[in-house]
A = this chain, B = another copy of it.
Amino acid sequence: MEEGTSQEPGYCEGTEDFDVWQWHSRADCEVRQILDRIADKWSLLVIALLERRSLRFSELRKEVEGISQRMLTVTLRQLERDGLVKRKAYPVVPPRVDYELTDMGCTLHETIKALVTWTEEHQTAIAAARAAYDERTAKERELLGQ
């Protein structure tokens, strides 16, 4: 951590994207750490929901079905720390806190949307693949167990 943050080694943007992955697969790669953060179950959903409009804490909790209070707090803190989400607290009682995407958060949403679109387009294929796989393994299991 102390001497890290070196981001200009070898892999300049222009090269084939071959080498890029060499760097990214290294555990100490900063890109990989950021990816771990944003490619997260809850982060994706929160960013997605905030793109529509800013939301309050309790609204988010209701919209993101299944998230616990703690994880919503943690997720929002991380996103805020990364500069993807802005937190606006009003000193009123009861408290009111609005969360909204920053400009950077908005650009990320574009990319995330692509991922979701891909998922939508392929969900049938994936379901089919899963069914096929399960059937295959069931048969193998049968052969082994018989």
Interface residues of A (CB under 8 A from B): 5, 7, 13, 17-18, 20-22, 24-27, 30-32, 34-36, 38-41, 44-45, 48-49, 51-52, 63-66, 80-84, 104, 107-108, 111-116, 118-120, 122-130, 132-134
Say how many copies of this protein the assembly contains. Answer: 2
Q: Is the interface of A mostly helix, strand, loop or mixed?
A: helix
Q: Give the complex CA separation of A5 and B107 in angstroms.
A: 32
What's the minimum C-beta distance from A110 to chain B, rounded to whole angstroms? 8
Interface centre among A26, A34, A80, by most B CB within 10 Å?
Answer: A34
Query: How far is B66's CA from A36's CA once the two chains are assembled, in angstroms?
Result: 13
Asked whether B130 lies within 8 Å of A81 as measured between CB atoms, the reply is yes
Q: Is the CB of A31 within 8 A of B116?
A: yes
Select one of B82, B107, B111, B129 contacting A83, CB under 8 A: B129
